[in-house]
Amino acid sequence: DVLSLEEILAEGSEPEGGSPSHAEQIRSGKAKLKALKEAMYHSAEHGHVDITIDIRSLGVPWTLHTWLESLRTCFHQHRRPLIQGLLKEFSCIDEEEYTEELVTHGLPLMSQILRASKNEVISQQLCVIFTQCYGPYPIPKLVEIKRKPNSRLDPHFLNNKDMSDVTFLVEGKPFYAHKVLLFTASNRFKSLLANRPCGENTCIEISNVKYHIFQLVMQYLYFGGTDALHIRNSDVMELLSAAKFFQLEALQRHCEIICSKNINTETCVEIYNHTKFLDAPDLASYIEGFFLKNMVILIELEPFKQLLYDTPADSPGADVLQALEKTLAIRIRSIHLSSSKGSVV
């Protein structure tokens, strides 16, 4: 089912008799290269990986397709040395070859190899490829959400017992507030107020939120924004969780931006685990971008290796590789496949 290499090359052989002219030599060289490329394509398509690699050794450039098909064959045949050799060769593939095939076929295949690989060299090489595909451009930044104009009160009213008309009970302590502000703050506050027990002096109990975190939430509402908030790094995750619970999107995003600025190779895994647990997809995508950009360094660190390979199946961040594949696919499409080529980044 495959033309022999000899037959294909015969198409570009020199004419018999006499020395060929310079023009004939150029034509002959082009014909041979074309024939070799065709042979390389057919051998890769039909799983003859040794022939493909022999042709490559003659100086015939890889196409993304021939490289991927060769990698797929080597993986299915468990030919580890050839896989290592092919992964090193990825850097020879021109970026113009980064087509939809890389996204739809290449990334799933490489993720599958990384998932199955217990070989450090192969894992390291795949991380180099992922980082190369992610590109040198910055990670897309999280942007503050502009708050809709709504009611705000003078900070003098904040937690003022004499002026309040609603009381919350947080960690056993009262916190005094105003219905007029909270009704417009979010649907969660509206629901809490609407469902509170009858009676003028009843408190609305807030569980699973610390008093000082609830105080920050209220400061945000009374001040009408985040400008006056002093959020410690040790509190930012708890405040993010509270903002999500009370459906305060702008405050949640502000916390996510603070988290994104605190990410480094030592903190990224811990922050990512918290983020997945809280279900904050925008921050998770940002951290996945950080993983991809720094994967060569991270794969040497135990916490990241555990995240990739040892995360329990029932964990919120169970399939990290699948998430990385999705984030990388979005990135490749925005840089290499978008009509505006990189303007999305």
In this predicted structure, what is the pLDDT of residue 151? 59
In this predicted structure, what is the pLDDT of residue 54? 93
Q: Do residue 194 and residue 320 come from a single domain?
A: yes
Q: Do residue 91 and residue 196 come from a single domain?
A: no
In this predicted structure, what is the pLDDT of residue 198? 61
Q: Considering 97, 115, 146, which residue would you say is the last residue of a domain? A: 97
Pick left, alpha or beta for residue 63 (phi over 0 → left; psi -120 to 50 → alpha; otherwise beta): beta
pLDDT means per 10 residues, the chain with 345 residues, are: 57 53 61 88 92 92 95 95 95 90 95 89 96 93 79 72 86 90 89 75 86 94 87 94 95 96 94 94 96 96 91 66 94 81 48
Whether 128 is covered by a domain: the verdict is: no
Whether 135 is covered by a domain: the verdict is: no
Between CA 129 and CA 217 the distance in angstroms is 43
Radius of gyration of the CA atoms of the chain, in A = 30
- Sequence-distant (6+) residues with CB within 8 A of 117 are 123, 126
Note whether 74 and 82 are within 8 A (CB).
yes
Between CA 247 and CA 184 the distance in angstroms is 12
Note whether 330 and 162 are within 8 A (CB).
no
Whether 142 is covered by a domain: the verdict is: no
Per the structure block, which two tokens stand in for 294? 């720094």
Q: Do residue 289 and residue 174 come from a single domain?
A: yes
Between CA 62 and CA 71 the distance in angstroms is 12
Q: Considering 97, 122, 138, which residue would you say is the last residue of a domain? A: 97
Q: How many CB atoms sit inside 10 A of residue 230's CB?
A: 7
Q: Do residue 81 and residue 228 come from a single domain?
A: no
We report the CATH number of the domain holding residue 220 as 3.30.710.10
Count up the domains in the chain and report the number. Answer: 2
Between CA 150 and CA 221 the distance in angstroms is 10
Q: Considering 72, 97, 122, which residue would you say is the last residue of a domain? A: 97
Q: How far apart are the first and last CA of the chain?
A: 45
Q: Do residue 315 and residue 200 come from a single domain?
A: yes
Q: Do residue 93 and residue 159 come from a single domain?
A: no
In this predicted structure, what is the pLDDT of residue 236? 95
In this predicted structure, what is the pLDDT of residue 3? 55
In this predicted structure, what is the pLDDT of residue 228? 82
Residue 250's domain comprises: 155-337
Whether 146 is covered by a domain: the verdict is: no
Between CA 156 and CA 238 the distance in angstroms is 25
Query: How many CA atoms lie within 13 Å of 338's alpha carbon, on the beta-carbon side?
Result: 13
Q: What burial letters (b/e) apply to 282-302, b meaning 16+ CB within 10 Å?
A: ebbbbbbbbbbbbbeebbeee
In this predicted structure, what is the pLDDT of residue 21? 56
Nearest Cα neighbor of 258 from 285, 279, 234 is: 234
Q: Do residue 83 and residue 204 come from a single domain?
A: no
In this predicted structure, what is the pLDDT of residue 1? 43
Whether 119 is covered by a domain: the verdict is: no
